[in-house]
Structure 1
Amino acid sequence: MSPRQSLVDAVQQAAERAVAQGAAGWLLASVTATYGDGTVDISTARGPVAKVRRLKSYSAPAVGDLVRVDFNADGNWIVVGALATS
Protein backbone atom coordinates (compact mmCIF):
# COMPACT_ATOMS: atom_id res chain seq x y z
CA MET A 1 0.00 0.00 0.00
CA SER A 2 1.33 3.43 -0.90
CA PRO A 3 1.96 6.11 1.72
CA ARG A 4 -0.82 8.18 0.16
CA GLN A 5 -3.32 5.30 0.41
CA SER A 6 -2.30 4.72 4.03
CA LEU A 7 -2.99 8.38 4.79
CA VAL A 8 -6.35 8.26 3.01
CA ASP A 9 -7.32 5.12 4.96
CA ALA A 10 -6.25 6.67 8.27
CA VAL A 11 -8.26 9.84 7.62
CA GLN A 12 -11.33 7.81 6.63
CA GLN A 13 -11.09 5.65 9.77
CA ALA A 14 -10.72 8.73 11.99
CA ALA A 15 -13.77 10.34 10.36
CA GLU A 16 -15.84 7.18 10.80
CA ARG A 17 -14.89 6.99 14.50
CA ALA A 18 -15.76 10.66 15.04
CA VAL A 19 -19.17 10.26 13.41
CA ALA A 20 -19.94 7.08 15.36
CA GLN A 21 -18.98 8.74 18.66
CA GLY A 22 -20.97 11.89 17.90
CA ALA A 23 -24.18 10.22 16.77
CA ALA A 24 -27.18 9.32 18.86
CA GLY A 25 -28.29 5.71 18.91
CA TRP A 26 -29.15 2.70 21.00
CA LEU A 27 -27.44 -0.49 22.14
CA LEU A 28 -28.16 -3.68 23.99
CA ALA A 29 -26.43 -3.97 27.34
CA SER A 30 -26.26 -6.14 30.43
CA VAL A 31 -26.93 -4.75 33.89
CA THR A 32 -23.89 -5.26 36.11
CA ALA A 33 -25.03 -3.40 39.25
CA THR A 34 -28.20 -1.73 40.56
CA TYR A 35 -28.60 1.23 42.91
CA GLY A 36 -31.48 2.63 44.94
CA ASP A 37 -31.14 6.06 43.32
CA GLY A 38 -32.69 4.97 40.00
CA THR A 39 -29.43 4.13 38.26
CA VAL A 40 -27.67 0.98 37.10
CA ASP A 41 -24.21 0.09 35.84
CA ILE A 42 -24.18 -1.55 32.42
CA SER A 43 -21.80 -3.39 30.15
CA THR A 44 -22.09 -2.60 26.42
CA ALA A 45 -20.21 -3.55 23.28
CA ARG A 46 -18.47 -0.17 23.68
CA GLY A 47 -17.45 -0.99 27.23
CA PRO A 48 -18.82 -0.43 30.74
CA VAL A 49 -20.93 2.61 31.66
CA ALA A 50 -21.51 3.54 35.30
CA LYS A 51 -24.58 5.04 36.98
CA VAL A 52 -26.95 5.19 33.99
CA ARG A 53 -30.39 6.60 34.80
CA ARG A 54 -33.29 4.21 34.11
CA LEU A 55 -36.87 4.96 33.12
CA LYS A 56 -39.42 4.58 35.91
CA SER A 57 -41.21 1.91 33.87
CA TYR A 58 -38.12 -0.30 34.37
CA SER A 59 -38.93 -0.56 38.05
CA ALA A 60 -37.23 -3.82 39.07
CA PRO A 61 -33.74 -3.91 37.56
CA ALA A 62 -31.64 -6.98 38.27
CA VAL A 63 -28.03 -7.83 37.61
CA GLY A 64 -27.88 -9.85 34.41
CA ASP A 65 -30.90 -8.19 32.75
CA LEU A 66 -30.52 -7.60 29.03
CA VAL A 67 -31.60 -4.00 28.46
CA ARG A 68 -31.97 -1.45 25.70
CA VAL A 69 -30.04 1.77 26.29
CA ASP A 70 -30.31 5.01 24.34
CA PHE A 71 -27.48 7.54 24.13
CA ASN A 72 -26.94 10.92 22.52
CA ALA A 73 -24.00 12.86 21.17
CA ASP A 74 -23.57 14.74 24.46
CA GLY A 75 -22.72 11.48 26.22
CA ASN A 76 -26.04 11.08 28.02
CA TRP A 77 -27.33 7.54 28.51
CA ILE A 78 -30.69 6.15 29.62
CA VAL A 79 -31.84 2.58 30.20
CA VAL A 80 -35.18 2.17 28.44
CA GLY A 81 -36.04 -1.22 29.90
CA ALA A 82 -35.38 -4.92 30.03
CA LEU A 83 -36.00 -7.16 27.06
CA ALA A 84 -38.18 -10.22 27.37
CA THR A 85 -36.32 -13.48 27.78
CA SER A 86 -37.48 -16.90 26.76
Structure 2
Amino acid sequence: MTMPKRLLDAVQRAARQAVEQHAAAWVMATVTATHTDGTVDISTARGPISSVRRLKSYTPTVGDVIKVSRNSDGNWVVDGAFA
Protein backbone atom coordinates (compact mmCIF):
# COMPACT_ATOMS: atom_id res chain seq x y z
CA MET A 1 0.00 0.00 0.00
CA THR A 2 1.36 3.42 -0.89
CA MET A 3 1.92 6.20 1.63
CA PRO A 4 -0.89 8.44 0.25
CA LYS A 5 -3.32 5.48 0.38
CA ARG A 6 -2.39 4.70 4.02
CA LEU A 7 -2.80 8.36 4.93
CA LEU A 8 -6.20 8.53 3.23
CA ASP A 9 -7.32 5.34 5.02
CA ALA A 10 -6.17 6.73 8.38
CA VAL A 11 -8.02 10.03 7.84
CA GLN A 12 -11.21 8.21 6.84
CA ARG A 13 -10.98 5.92 9.88
CA ALA A 14 -10.44 8.88 12.23
CA ALA A 15 -13.36 10.79 10.71
CA ARG A 16 -15.69 7.79 11.02
CA GLN A 17 -14.72 7.27 14.67
CA ALA A 18 -15.22 10.96 15.48
CA VAL A 19 -18.71 10.94 13.98
CA GLU A 20 -19.65 7.74 15.84
CA GLN A 21 -18.43 9.14 19.16
CA HIS A 22 -20.28 12.45 18.82
CA ALA A 23 -23.48 11.33 17.13
CA ALA A 24 -26.70 10.95 19.09
CA ALA A 25 -27.81 7.35 19.32
CA TRP A 26 -29.87 4.85 21.25
CA VAL A 27 -28.82 1.39 22.37
CA MET A 28 -30.14 -1.57 24.31
CA ALA A 29 -28.51 -2.21 27.67
CA THR A 30 -28.92 -4.27 30.83
CA VAL A 31 -29.28 -2.71 34.28
CA THR A 32 -26.43 -3.90 36.49
CA ALA A 33 -27.11 -1.74 39.59
CA THR A 34 -29.67 0.79 40.82
CA HIS A 35 -29.01 3.82 43.00
CA THR A 36 -31.26 5.94 45.24
CA ASP A 37 -30.25 9.16 43.45
CA GLY A 38 -32.24 8.28 40.29
CA THR A 39 -29.37 6.69 38.40
CA VAL A 40 -28.49 3.18 37.28
CA ASP A 41 -25.36 1.40 36.14
CA ILE A 42 -25.73 -0.36 32.81
CA SER A 43 -23.90 -2.77 30.57
CA THR A 44 -23.90 -2.08 26.82
CA ALA A 45 -22.30 -3.86 23.87
CA ARG A 46 -19.50 -1.29 24.09
CA GLY A 47 -18.95 -1.78 27.80
CA PRO A 48 -20.26 -0.62 31.18
CA ILE A 49 -21.62 2.88 31.85
CA SER A 50 -22.11 4.09 35.41
CA SER A 51 -24.59 6.56 36.90
CA VAL A 52 -26.99 6.93 33.97
CA ARG A 53 -29.96 9.16 34.80
CA ARG A 54 -33.40 7.55 34.48
CA LEU A 55 -36.85 8.98 33.88
CA LYS A 56 -39.11 9.32 36.93
CA SER A 57 -41.77 7.12 35.36
CA TYR A 58 -39.45 4.08 35.28
CA THR A 59 -38.40 2.07 38.34
CA PRO A 60 -35.59 -0.24 37.25
CA THR A 61 -34.51 -3.57 38.62
CA VAL A 62 -31.19 -5.32 38.06
CA GLY A 63 -31.40 -7.46 34.94
CA ASP A 64 -33.92 -5.27 33.09
CA VAL A 65 -33.23 -4.86 29.37
CA ILE A 66 -33.63 -1.16 28.68
CA LYS A 67 -33.40 1.45 25.94
CA VAL A 68 -30.89 4.21 26.63
CA SER A 69 -30.18 7.31 24.57
CA ARG A 70 -26.95 9.27 24.25
CA ASN A 71 -26.80 12.83 22.97
CA SER A 72 -23.95 14.37 21.01
CA ASP A 73 -22.32 15.65 24.22
CA GLY A 74 -22.01 12.08 25.50
CA ASN A 75 -24.77 12.32 28.13
CA TRP A 76 -26.90 9.21 28.68
CA VAL A 77 -30.54 8.77 29.78
CA VAL A 78 -32.64 5.66 30.36
CA ASP A 79 -35.82 5.89 28.28
CA GLY A 80 -37.49 2.81 29.74
CA ALA A 81 -37.59 -0.97 29.83
CA PHE A 82 -38.54 -3.42 27.11
CA ALA A 83 -41.46 -5.69 27.89
TM bracket (short chain): over 0.9
TM-score scaled by length of structure 1: 0.90
- Cα RMSD (Å) of the superposition? 0.9
Q: Deviation at 1:58?
A: 1.0
Is the aligned partner of 1:25 residue 2:25? Answer: yes
Moved over 6 A (4+): none
Q: Deviation at 1:46?
A: 2.1
Flag structure 2 segments of 5+ consecutive residues without an equivalent: none
TM-score scaled by length of structure 2: 0.93
Whole-angstrom CA distance in 2 between matches of 1:49 and 1:80: 15
Letter of the aligned partner of 2:74 in structure 1? G
Letter of the aligned partner of 2:55 in structure 1? L
Aligned equivalent of 2:66? 67
Residues matched between the structures, number: 83
Whole-angstrom CA distance in 2 between matches of 1:65 and 1:3: 49
> Pairwise mapping of residues 43-58 of structure 1 onto structure 2 (< 5 A)?
43-58=43-58
Letter of the aligned partner of 1:35 in structure 2? H
